[in-house]
Amino acid sequence: MFLHALYANPRRSKELDGLLHSLRHSNRVGNARRMIMFCYDDLPSQYQSCLLSVSMFPPHTTVRRTSLVRRWAAENFVTGRDGASAVDEAERCFDALIARGLLHPGHVGAAGKVKSCTVHPHVLSFLNKTASDDGLERLDLPPDLVHRVSPRSVIHLLMDSQAAANYSNTTCWGLHWRHTTPAVSKKESSHHDIVTLLNLLPASSGQLGLIKVLNLQGCKGLKKRLLRNICSNIFQLKYLSLMDTDATELPKEINKIRYLETLDIRQTLIQSFPSRTIALPKLMHLLAGHMVHQSIQAIESDKTFSTVHLPHGIGSMTNMQVLSHVEVSPGDEDIEELTNVGRKLQLRKLGVVIRGDKEAHLLQVLLRVVGMVHESLCSLSIRIEAAQPGGDSRLKEVKADDVQAFSSVLIADDMGQSPPKLLESLNIKGKISGLPAWIKQLHRLSKVTLCCTQLTASDIAVLGELLNLRCIRLHHQSYTQKKLMLDNKKFKKLELLVIEGSDISTIHFDDDAAPKLEKITWTFTRVEIALFGINKLLNLKQIEINGSCDPYHLSRIAQDIKVNPSHPILLYNTNRDATAAPSNSFIRE
């Protein structure tokens, strides 16, 4: 951490003299605190506020990057500068804290971007003490509850005279609830606490307007009346997460939250907005989508995906940056609203579920929208489905003529369209039988996830030419042939290869193919599988095989691993195969 701080700002000779003097007269714990203080003092005041807010999370908690930066922007800890938005500045802050070692990187994405972080216990202790010294911590709040609301506004909220009247002891109300409620798990208790708090607070409390962040993720018992009160009374709310709750519909009062910037309704059964036209002029991030497994042994094509319908009035949301995932159906109104999405010149992430009987036409409109936002779009997710009788929606089993129509759209509609050259992530699920022609020009594309796309060897060869591709995920029926060939001098930056499906039986690495590959994960149903060329992958660290494999083929793989100079690890799991429900990467942030 000290070396990172020096690298960031080497012109601190006077401070270094003072630090050296203090280190000579302190113990090890004191030295750690002084070293952290040295790094903390060099941060801009806005970044200090962001870092202090991390102290509200329980110890050893892994925090997602997107959640942090959106909350920092919503709390006004950072403001936009040099033409960039507050979220952009929050992104810079996150990177700066990681670079200085004040936050430890957790999961790192395919493009090398840190997706989550943790806080070292020494740093967390320092932040708690600093926050207390600054008067930011006045109540003994349960740590699992504090991070669900604005760290500043919750203190004022609970000190409000009307709110305090509902508690026998304001400073230990969380403990009081735990003794009077039935025995539940720590996680369930946290969920119960926040719902109980919101139910107890009087709607007339003026302090409700102070709350800007409300995270209800995982909470159960969110009745429509409670959601109506939230929307009607927390009028300055900027961040609302209902992710993984039992909410099934939004109240019509949702339009009253005029300052709302982030609305997260992922993993809920919410499928539409209550009014015909949505009126959230400040909305920047709309996150939706719910995957339902029909059975424990479900494969990708047997899973139902539901999401919110593309709301009318999307054209008025000029600040929209993330729109993922929304459903569009045939009809003039949907086509008009989808076209309006193309006017979001700040749009960075777009996820669309195409549903109905005119998928080819909707796909054509969507590709034109992609061309309109080519200067900002970084992530694109497309899922092609067809409405089934009884309301069940699954990946459509299209005929050969339909596949040809989709392929023609992907190729023909590229003519005259500007490719999204900033695109880093591409996710396609549906029988398209061909990649967009502009994919050859995506030099920043680092992650590709495909399912049911029925690609051929020539399509894989196109992916091999991409200069920055680091991760490929090929799910069920994404590739039509049994042998997957990674050719010579291609896939130069590929680090992760994930294969899930029953079609591929052989994977072959040619000489000098995928020289930077670090991990292979192969999940299958076949007994006889073959993996050739892994002895030449000098950066390979791990091979994970999921499924019942013939002992002869498994021993051949083990022998090739032994002669590999990097000595990769072989993980063999017979309890999981390609028929098991895979992880839901489609709606993951």
The DSSP string of 274-331 is SSSB---TT--EEE--EEEESSTT--GGGEEEE-EE--BTGGG-TT--EEEEEEE-SS
Q: How many domains does the chain have?
A: 4
pTM of the model: 0.83
518 and 434 in one domain? no
pLDDT at 298 over 90: no
Domain boundary among 108, 133, 158: 133
Could you tell me if residue 477 is left (phi over 0), alpha (psi between -120 and 50 degrees) or otherwise beta?
left
Is 498 within a domain?
Answer: yes
Cα–Cα distance measured from residue 480 to residue 516, given in angstroms and rounded to the nearest whole number: 26
Q: Structural domain of residue 224, as residue ranges?
A: 138-261
- Is the pLDDT confidence value at 383 over 80? yes
What is the rounded average pLDDT of the residues 125-138? 72
If you average pLDDT over residues 69-98, what whole number do you get? 90
267 assigned to some structural domain: no
Q: Does some domain include residue 305?
A: yes
Rounded to an integer, the average pLDDT of 553-560 is 90
Residue 474 lies in a domain: yes
| Model confidence at 529: pLDDT above 70 | yes
Give CA angle at 524 (519, 525), nearest 5°: 165
Question: Do the beta carbons of residue 95 and residue 167 sit within 8 Å?
Answer: no
Residue 228 and residue 149 in one domain: yes
Same domain, 190 and 52: no
Residue 47 within a domain? yes
- Greatest mean pLDDT among 176-180, 385-389, 549-553 lies in 549-553
Domain limit, last residue, from 226, 261, 296: 261
| pLDDT of 151 over the 70 cut | no
Predicted pLDDT of residue 7: 81
Tell me whether residue 24 is exposed, middle or buried, using C-beta atoms within 10 angstroms of its C-beta: 0 to 12, 13 to 18, 19 or more. exposed
Residues 310, 338 contacting (CB under 8 angstroms): yes
Question: And the tokens for 344?
Answer: 């979001």
Question: Among 74, 102, 133, where does a domain finish?
Answer: 133
For 569, residues 6+ apart whose C-beta sits below 8 A from its C-beta are: 541, 542, 543
Given this model, what pLDDT does residue 544 score? 94
In a domain, 65, yes or no: yes
For the stretch 313-351, pLDDT in tens is 888 888 999 999 999 988 878 889 999 998 888 899 999
Preceding amide of 325 cis, omega within 30? yes
Q: Do residues 320 and 405 both lie within one domain? A: yes
Segment 559-587, tens digit of pLDDT:
999 999 999 999 998 876 555 544 555 45
Based on the fold, state whether residues 441 and 475 are members of the same structural domain.
no
Average pLDDT, the chain: 79
Residues 430 and 564 in one domain: no
Over the stretch 211-230, which tens digit does the pLDDT of each residue have?
888 888 888 888 888 888 88
**Which residue from 477, 321, 486, 328 is spatially nearest to 393, judged by alpha carbons?**
328
**352: three-class secondary structure by DSSP:** strand
* 577: CB partners within 8 A, 6+ apart: 523, 524, 525, 546, 547, 548
Q: Which CATH number goes with the domain that contains 52?
A: 1.10.10
Q: Are residues 409 and 298 in the same domain?
A: yes
Q: What percent of the chain shows pLDDT beyond 90?
A: 39
Are 124 and 78 part of one and the same domain? yes
Beta bridge partners of 260: none
- Specify the residue for token string 């009318």: 312
Q: In terms of Cα–Cα distance, which of 158, 267, 175, 156 is closest to 219?
A: 267
Residue 170 covered by a domain: yes
Note whether 350 and 425 are same-domain residues: yes
One domain, residues 23 and 170: no
Sheet holding 116-118, edge to edge: 63-64, 116-118, 104-105
Residue 387: pLDDT band (50, 70, 90) is: low
Query: Same domain for 319 and 233?
Result: no
In a domain, 366, yes or no: yes
pLDDT of residue 207: 60
Q: Based on the fold, state whether residues 329 and 438 are members of the same structural domain.
A: yes
Average pLDDT over residues 455-474: 94
